Amino acid sequence: MKIENNTVVTEFILLGLTQSQDIQLLVFVLILIFYLIILPGNFLIIFTISSDPGLTAPLYFFLGNLAFLDASYSFIVAPRMLVDFLSEKKVISYRSCITQLFFLHFLGGGEGLLLVVMAFDRYIAIYRPLHYSTVMNPRACYAMLLALWLGGFVHSIIQVVLILRLPFCGPNQLDNFFCDVPQVIKLACTDTFVVELLMVFNSGLMTLLCFLGLLASYAVILCYVCRSASAGKSKAISTCTTHVIIILLMFGPAVFIYTRPFRALPADKVVSFFHTVIFPLMNPMIYTLRNQEVKTSMKRLLSRHIVCQMDSIMRN
């Protein structure tokens, strides 16, 4: 079916995060530091989990995928934002805007579903430990991974199709530093009330239900763990607490942005900045710093690398 669209706007002008040069410089340095320090750390997590035979449990399999999704997510907005800080005119083409919006919700939706899968993994590990290896077998883990990628794609393609049907005939100034649904819809040359309701249902309601469901499930799990007298009690509490922190970082800003009518608020840009740039880089690092097995494996991997480098220098 051909999508009818009377779009005449070929590009959008991004107004950016702020007009203050001092704040722009501060944000530029902050993002650059995060990229130079934390992003390589995320790739180190992925490499450590994929190369260590001792980290083959489903928990680490999903952690590696979380690090991959967050690293990929950080490439959608931040690099262009860094370039825009150095440009006088911040312009993005209509196609690039739609592409950015698609990947933003594709990876974001996939990560939200991944956190649901990780909650299910912890539930089985704590409530049904004897059935854990049977339920969370490699085939089931890959099936869940495929399902969450597919879910993210369906969620994102719905957003894109709805926007592609809207006519854009001006103005073309986007009051943000990237392309996202609330700001793009407001530039359409038509009544967008129905589309906004569909968007809120697709993004907002799904986000809110996942958020409340995850908080409730971890509350139940933590209550069960606290009442138990098992040997791995402290480890289970630490793991679940870390998951809750990541859920708050991931879903808190998303609930603020997508579960209300698309009206601009002063805090929107700041919340979006942390949601799209800062938190995705921090999530895997937060998890790793609270996981002794991954930290030990990373130290062992780095030690081997240093020893190999020293041997190579001595031979030369």
Query: How many C-beta neighbours within 10 Å does residue 256 have?
Result: 16
Torsion of the alpha carbons at 296, 299, 300 and 306, rounded to the nearest 10:
180
Is residue 82 within 8 Å of residue 28, measured between CB atoms? yes
Q: Is residue 194 part of a domain?
A: yes
Q: Could you tell me if 14 and 91 are in contact, meaning their C-beta atoms sit under 8 angstroms apart?
A: yes
Domain limits for position 292: 11-303
* Closest listed residue to residue 121, CA positions, set 110, 139, 137: 137
Does residue 311 belong to any structural domain of this protein?
no
Question: Encoding tokens for residue 155?
Answer: 């969620």
What's 280's domain CATH number? 1.20.1070.10
* pLDDT tens for the chain, residues 1 to 316: 445 555 578 899 998 888 888 888 888 888 888 777 777 878 888 888 888 888 888 988 998 898 898 888 888 888 888 888 888 788 999 999 999 999 999 999 999 999 899 889 988 988 888 889 899 999 999 999 999 999 999 999 999 999 998 999 878 888 888 998 888 988 998 888 888 888 888 888 888 888 998 998 888 888 888 887 666 677 778 778 888 888 888 888 888 888 876 677 778 888 888 888 877 777 767 777 677 788 788 778 777 767 777 777 777 6
Q: Is there a domain that residue 313 lies in?
A: no
What's the pLDDT at 150? 96
Q: Is position 2 within any domain?
A: no
pLDDT of residue 161: 92
162 in a domain, yes or no? Answer: yes
Domain count, the chain: 1
Kind of pairing, strands 173-174 and 91-93? unpaired
Q: Given this model, what pLDDT does residue 229 score?
A: 66
**Within 10 A of 204 (CB to CB), how many other CB atoms are there?**
20
pLDDT at 152: 93
Establish if 6 belongs to a structural domain. no
Measured CA angle at 11 (ends 8, 15), to 5 deg: 130
Sign of the C-alpha dihedral computed for residues 47, 50, 56 and 57 taken in this order: positive
The answer to whether residue 310 sits within a structural domain is no
Residue 309 falls within a domain, yes or no? Answer: no
What is the predicted pLDDT for the residue at 2?
46
Distances from the Cα of 12 to the Cαs of 92, 94, 170, 180, 245, in angstroms? 5, 7, 9, 12, 36
> What is the pLDDT at residue 294?
80
Going edge to edge, which strands form the sheet with 91-93? 91-93, 11-14, 173-174
Q: With the CA atoms of 193, 195, 201 and 203 taken in that order, what torsion angle do they form, in degrees rounded to the nearest 10?
A: -120
